[in-house]
Amino acid sequence: MRCLADCHYTRDVDRCHAGGPGHTNLASFSAAMIVVGGSGITFGLSVIKDLVDKDLKGKSRVKVIEFIWTVPDACKSAFLLPYG
């Protein structure tokens, strides 16, 4: 499995390219798992939008996107969820 990890824990991640994405083309991977916390959702959603836009233009290999957002309290996410 080839993966890219970008966070302050990357030095501890085995079998991953550590040190951030740099010039890596995220659209070259077949799947994406985006994990963010709190206000990091703005970054995560912009990454998803970019991947979807590239896919619509036929410039992305990504076919599966998993999005994980952690918040300190579930009610903080109510405005985004259809069932509130």
User: What distances in angstroms separate CA 62 from CA 12, 20, 83, one per listed residue?
Assistant: 26, 19, 28
**Spatial distance between the Cα atoms of 23 and 5, rounded to a whole number of angstroms:** 13
- pTM of the model as a whole: 0.69
pLDDT of the residue at 37: 87
Q: Using one digit for the tens of pLDDT, what is the confidence trace for 21-56? A: 555 788 888 998 998 888 888 889 999 999 999 999
Q: What number of other Cβ atoms are within 10 A of residue 23's Cβ?
A: 4
